[in-house]
Amino acid sequence: AQSVTQLDSHVSVSEGTPVLLRCNYSSSYSPSLFWYVQHPNKGLQLLLKYTSAATLVKGINGFEAEFKKSETSFHLTKPSAHMSDAAEYFCVVSDQNDYKLSFGAGTTVTVRA
């Protein structure tokens, strides 16, 4: 069975400083990995996805994530936080044995002016 652990339930950063959101996954087979963002009272929007191509994945709004199989990690980073990045972020895994999407518990990002 597949699963995801987001290591931080809440991250607070100052505007203009880097953001790091940590995600570890468990999967018996080659996984697909995704990061979604949810702004308050909104639906979910895809930030980026990994599906067995390049291990460093670039997404929208300056976010990127690196797939590290040896560490079973898929951490999300952004060099410089913006106020508009305040939202909840979800790491999601799916593998070839089970096409369902499994979500982490989410990380809430706060950006201080």
Partner 1 sequence: NAGVTQTPKFQVLKTGQSMTLQCAQDMNHNSMYWYRQDPGMGLRLIYYSASEGTTDKGEVPNGYNVSRLNKREFSLRLESAAPSQTSVYFCASSELAGIMNTEAFFGQGTRLTVV
Three-state SS letters, the chain: CCEEEECCCEEEEECCCCEEECEEEECCCCEEEEEEEECCCCCEEEEEEECCCCCEEECHHHCEEEEECCCCEEEEEECCCCHHHCEEEEEEEEECCEEEEEECCCEEEEEEC
**For residues 5 and 15, which CB has a smaller minimum distance to partner 1 in the complex?**
5
Closest distance of CB 56 from partner 1, Å = 18
> In the complex, what is the shortest distance from the CB of residue 52 to partner 1, in angstroms, rounded to a whole number?
6
Nearest-approach distance from CB 76 to partner 1, in angstroms: 15
Least Å from the CB of residue 70 to partner 1? 20
Residue ranges that bind partner 1, judged by CB under 8 A = 6, 9, 30, 32, 34, 36, 42-44, 46, 49, 51-52, 90, 92, 94, 96, 99-106
Torsion of CA 34, 93, 57, 107, to 10 degrees: 60
- By C-beta, is 73 or 102 nearer to partner 1? 102
By C-beta, is 17 or 60 nearer to partner 1?
A: 60
Of 42 and 82, CB closest to partner 1: 42
